[in-house]
Chains A and B, each alone.
Chain A
């Protein structure tokens, strides 16, 4: 573990942005998440790690109610955003998702032009008053997602025509264009080369100034590099949650230790 470089851990904030209490998720008869308790902090990058199928994506989807679209999915327990219950019937999931943005595990650009993909969110939320402002948001988002140089000459060509890694960055640009308060990223670098990965990690670090970021990753190095907090999931349970440095150097739970050192997963 000595070769892992850690992010500076200047945690000035300890306020919880999102709090989860005893969250249970069932897909039909499959009990996918059990008793998850976690506080996701403001202006912090939180990494979710754990073996495949342990429920990382499932938990991520609970945070912006994307599970509502899955038939047969039931959620119990209490989840709050800024103290407000996310699953309260008075909460409008549409507004919630505007505040809690998401980058999906599989890139899913719309079959529209690159420009329209990025402009989609700002347009539906009426974030801009004129074309110039929209252009600016599109350019800024693409730059931050490290796609501008490749895409600036082909903004009008379809987003589905990009390579897998470019599509992934397009989806990141699309998500940050709406300036959410929380950004959920499900393996955002799974198809990226090391240079683009480094750029995205830089972006994540930069986003931390304004947003909370939750990132699911299978790369221990990445979790260590970008996050201040790490949660380790195993078989539907949150096994350990704490400061990233502590999780990687001095885990309390033996399962965490064996996962990090490569013995389970």
Chain B
């Protein structure tokens, strides 16, 4: 039985369990639901949960453990010199073993026929059924046959074990149903565990990302001195080793571009938010707010194109060249301006929400004292909303730091430490991409430095986010 059908069978049993559990609960209570501890539906849920969950958990564990068990038995049959060779050979065996299955179906081979297949003519036949193997050694073939038999036997055992678990738990659940049985508590607890499991996925992913970054970074620092990385002022990776991998030019580019972006985005976004929430009529707000939010929906690569084709050349022709500051159309200024435009809706819609959260009674208080609208905004609303706005700005900053596409197309890829805003520079994110997609060997410092850069970036944005959350939370407490 295939796994899909097995899962389906368990689910059907669970559905039947729901109906039967409900009926049985009503029956034990003599048809009067008020005599039950929980609602009849809860007894149904209880039976369904017991029928499905243990069986499906068992299935998941089995599916994880089965390949490990089989491969540890197969491994001694293969001769290999290094762990890398062994894993390659094992991958071959796995492919051939699956290929044999396909062959057996397409050529209608009996089990004996499969067992007596020989390795000489096998490769082309396997390729015909869609298995990518170049050659089949006798050793690999015998291992693959063993692999296949074990798979089949274990599969039968698995079906039996899962089916038996589901059936046992199902019957057990039905027997437990009695009017005073607390089925609601069971189903409530199940919901709780479901929610915990869902949130664990996010937490575990974050932890996994951090762990993999940390382990590769440690690997990097073992082959490249940390002092150099943190203190050197040059970034000059070489293909043949002997590179300078100082983080400062990249960090400077990141910070410089982000600052320009924030200088553009924060005032414009904030003033937009004030207009929308305080001055605009309901009609204007109705179309202006979505129009601005469209900006937020544009993919950053499109902003990058805008920077490359329009903003960059315009800045070069009108500012950089007349002022004698450079002749490059990729510049910090280009990337910063365009990134600033990208961040405007981000700042404005966050600030708009925050300004709207300032209670109307404060506005009334100010107007009631004879304040004008701009005095009210300046003296009451913005100070009251300030912590929240700071939080919004920090969130925008962490987006600016993580932005890649606009920088590649707008600012170029030259790592430089310079104050001239019309010079091409680059950022941490761009270099992560170019180091990882280069031709160098994976274990070289030139590639692994990407992880150290990534971790640095992660720490920077983490600090900004924590700061932002802290400030936003403090702000929330004010009106409680």
Which residues in A have some Cβ–Cβ distance to B below 8 Å?
Answer: 64, 66, 69, 71, 93-99, 101-102, 104, 106, 108-112, 120-121, 124-125, 160, 171, 174-175, 178
Output the least CB separation between A38 and chain B (Å).
Answer: 21
For residue B324, CB closer than 8 A to chain A, the reply is no
Nearest to B373 among chain A residues (CB) is A94
Asked if B116 is at the interface of the complex by the 8 Å CB criterion, the answer is no
Give Cα A104 to B364, complex, Å: 8
4 other A-B residue contacts (CB within 8 Å) besides A104-B368, A124-B375: A69-B364, A94-B371, A111-B384, A112-B383
Indicate which residue in A69, A71, A98, A111 contacts B370 across the interface (CB closer than 8 Å).
A98
The chain B residue with its CB closest to the CB of A105 is B361
Asked if A111 contacts B361 (CB within 8 A), the reply is no
What's the nearest-Cβ distance from chain A to residue B390, in Å?
15
Is the pair A174, B364 in contact by a Cβ cutoff of 8 Å?
Answer: no
In the assembled complex, the CB of B456 is this many whole angstroms from the nearest CB of chain A, namely 38
Please name all residues of chain A whose beta carbon is closer than 8 Å to the beta carbon of B360 when the two chains form the complex: 69
Question: Which of B362, B367, B372, B478 is most buried by chain A, counting CB atoms within 10 A of its CB?
Answer: B367
Instruction: Give CA–CA (A93, B376) in the complex, Å.
Output: 14
Query: B342 to nearest A CB, angstroms?
Result: 32
The contact sample of 17 A-B pairs, CB cut-off 8 A, is A66-B364, A69-B363, A69-B367, A71-B282, A93-B367, A94-B370, A94-B372, A96-B370, A104-B368, A108-B361, A108-B365, A110-B362, A110-B365, A112-B383, A120-B379, A124-B379, A171-B365
The reply on B65 being an interface residue by CB < 8 A is: no
Among B361, B362, B370, the residue within 8 A (CB) of A97 is: B370
Q: What total of chain B residues lie within 8 Å of the partner, measured CB to CB?
A: 21
Known: A94-B371, A124-B375. A111 touches B364 (CB 8 A): no
Contact of B369 with A by CB under 8 A? yes
| Residues of A with C-beta under 8 A to B383 | 110-112
Q: Is B159 an interface residue (CB 8 A)?
A: no
Q: Which residues of B contact A66 (CB under 8 A)?
A: 364, 367-368
Question: Is the Cβ of B384 less than 8 Å from the Cβ of A121?
Answer: no
* Interface class of chain A by DSSP: helix
Q: Which A residues are in CB contact (< 8 Å) with B363?
A: 69
Q: Which residues of B contact A171 (CB under 8 A)?
A: 365
Contact partner, A108, options B282, B359, B370, Cβ 8 Å: B359
In Å, the complex CA distance between A111 and B282 comes to: 27
Contact A104 B365 (CB under 8 A): yes
Q: Are B359 and A160 in contact (CB under 8 A)?
A: no
- Chain B residues numbered 291-335 whose CB sits less than 8 Å from any CB in chain A: none
Q: Find chain A residues with CB under 8 A from B150 CB.
A: none
Q: Contact at B368–A175, with CB atoms within 8 Å?
A: yes
For residue B23, which residues in chain A have a CB less than 8 angstroms away from its CB? none
Total A-B pairs, Cβ < 8 A: 70
Whether A175 contacts B367 in the complex (CB less than 8 A), given A108-B361, A108-B362, A110-B384, comes out as no
Chain A residue numbers with a CB within 8 Å of B478 are 111, 160
A110-B362, A111-B384, A160-B478 in contact; A120/B369 too (CB < 8 A)?
Answer: yes
- Residues of A contacting B362 with CB < 8 Å? 108, 110-111
B20 within 8 A of A: no
Question: A66 vs B384: C-alpha distance in the bound complex, in angstroms?
Answer: 21
The closest CB in chain B to the CB of A112 belongs to B383
Contacts of A69 in B (CB 8 A): 360, 363-364, 367
- CB-defined contacts of B371 to chain A, threshold 8 Å: 94, 120, 124
Complex-state Cα separation, A112 to B367, whole angstroms: 16
Of A69, A95, A125, A175, most buried by chain B (CB within 10 Å of CB) is: A69
- Is B369 in contact with A178, judged by CB distance below 8 angstroms? yes
CA distance A190 to B383 in the complex (A): 29
- In the docked arrangement, what's the CA distance between A125 and B369, Å? 9
Closest 7 CB pairs of A and B: A98-B370, A108-B361, A102-B368, A97-B370, A108-B365, A121-B369, A111-B384
Say whether A110 contacts B366, CB under 8 Å. yes
Counting CB contacts under 8 A, is B380 at the interface?
yes
A106 to chain B: which residues have CB within 8 Å? 361
For the complex formed, measure the closest distance between the CB of A216 and the CB atoms of chain B, giving whole angstroms. Answer: 14
Nearest Cβ on chain B to A60's Cβ, whole angstroms: 11
Q: Which residues of the partner chain A approach B367 to less than 8 Å between Cβ atoms?
A: 66, 69, 93, 97
CA distance A187 to B371 in the complex (A): 23
Residues of A within 8 A of B369 (CB): 97-98, 101, 120-121, 124, 174-175, 178
Q: Return the chain A residue nearest B359 by Cβ.
A: A108
Chain B residue, CB-CB nearest to A103: B368
Nearest chain A CB to B247's CB is how many angstroms away?
41
By a CB distance below 8 angstroms, the chain A residues around B379 are 110, 120, 124
CB-CB under 8 A from A160, the residues of chain B are: 478
Contacts of A112 in B (CB 8 A): 383
Minimum CB–CB distance from B477 to chain A (whole Å) comes to 10
A109 to B364, CA, bound (A): 11
Q: Which residue of A lies closest to B365 (CB)?
A: A108
CA distance A196 to B363 in the complex (A): 27
CA A111 to CA B368, docked complex, whole Å: 16
Set of chain A residues within 8 Å of B364, measured between Cβ atoms: 66, 69, 104, 108
Min CB–CB distance B370 → chain A (angstroms): 3
Quote the shortest CB–CB distance from A125 to chain B (angstroms): 6
Q: Which residues of A contact B365 (CB under 8 A)?
A: 104, 108-110, 171, 174
B384 touches A124 (CB 8 A): no
* Chain B residues whose CB sits within 8 angstroms of the CB of A125 once the complex forms: 370
* B370→A124 contact, CB < 8 A: yes
Q: Which residue of A lies closest to B370 (CB)?
A: A98
Given contacts A69-B363, A71-B282, A160-B478, contact A110 B380 (CB under 8 A): yes
Q: Please, how many angstroms separate the alpha-carbon atoms of A176 and B360 in the complex?
A: 21
Residues of B340-392 whose CB lies within 8 A of A: 359-372, 375, 379-380, 383-384
Q: How far is the CA of A178 from the CA of B371 in the complex (A)?
A: 11
A104 touches B361 (CB 8 A): yes
A111–B382 Cα distance when bound, in Å, is 11
- Chain B residues lying within 8 Å of A111, measured Cβ to Cβ, are 362, 383-384, 478
Within the complex, the shortest CB–CB distance from B384 to chain A, in Å, comes to: 5
Bound state CA distance, A93 and B368, in angstroms? 10
**Could you tell me if B375 and A97 are in contact, using CB atoms closer than 8 angstroms?**
no
A94 to chain B, nearest CB (A): 5
Bitwise, B272-289 to A at CB < 8 A (1) or not (0) is 000000000010000000
Q: How far is the CA of A239 from the CA of B367 in the complex (A)?
A: 30
CA distance A110 to B370 in the complex (A): 15
Q: Once the chains are docked, how many angstroms separate the CA of A250 from the CA of B24?
A: 74
Residue of B nearest to A110 (CB): B380
Min Cβ gap A214→B in Å is: 13
Q: Which residues of B contact A64 (CB under 8 A)?
A: 368
Residues of B within 8 A of A96 (CB): 370
